[in-house]
Amino acid sequence: MFLRCQTQWRTGAVGVMGLDYGVVLQLCDVYAVGDKRQLMDDLQVMEAKARELINQAAAESMKASSKPRRNG
């Protein structure tokens, strides 16, 4: 389900905030997920780590692009 929701991230000024749970729950219905509570518990663990890595990579990219470049 995490992979099925990979394009459903909520973003804001501070970066990636989390998955759109409304879409997650709709997909749970489409794929007839039996234990939605367990799925959400598991998904939130993956979401937290992914959010950390995505935002960390974005911060590093911003930092690298803001450094002055030397010519010559």
How many residues appear in the chain? 72
Looking at per-residue confidence, does 19 or 68 come out higher? 19
- The per-residue pLDDT for range 11-35, each reduced to its tens digit, is 998 889 999 999 999 999 999 999 9
**Structural domain span for residue 59:** 9-65
Q: At 66, is the pLDDT very low, low, confident or very high (cuts 50, 70, 90)?
A: confident
Q: Could you give the CA distance from residue 13 to residue 40 in angstroms, rounded to a whole number?
A: 25
- The per-residue pLDDT for range 46-63, each reduced to its tens digit, is 999 999 999 999 999 888
Q: With respect to residue 1, please indicate whether it lies within any of the assigned structural domains.
A: no
pTM across the whole model: 0.80
Is residue 8 within 8 A of residue 23, CB to CB? The reply is: yes
Q: With respect to residue 28, please indicate whether it lies within any of the assigned structural domains.
A: yes
Q: Could you give the CA distance from residue 44 to residue 31 in angstroms, rounded to a whole number?
A: 18
Q: With respect to residue 2, please indicate whether it lies within any of the assigned structural domains.
A: no
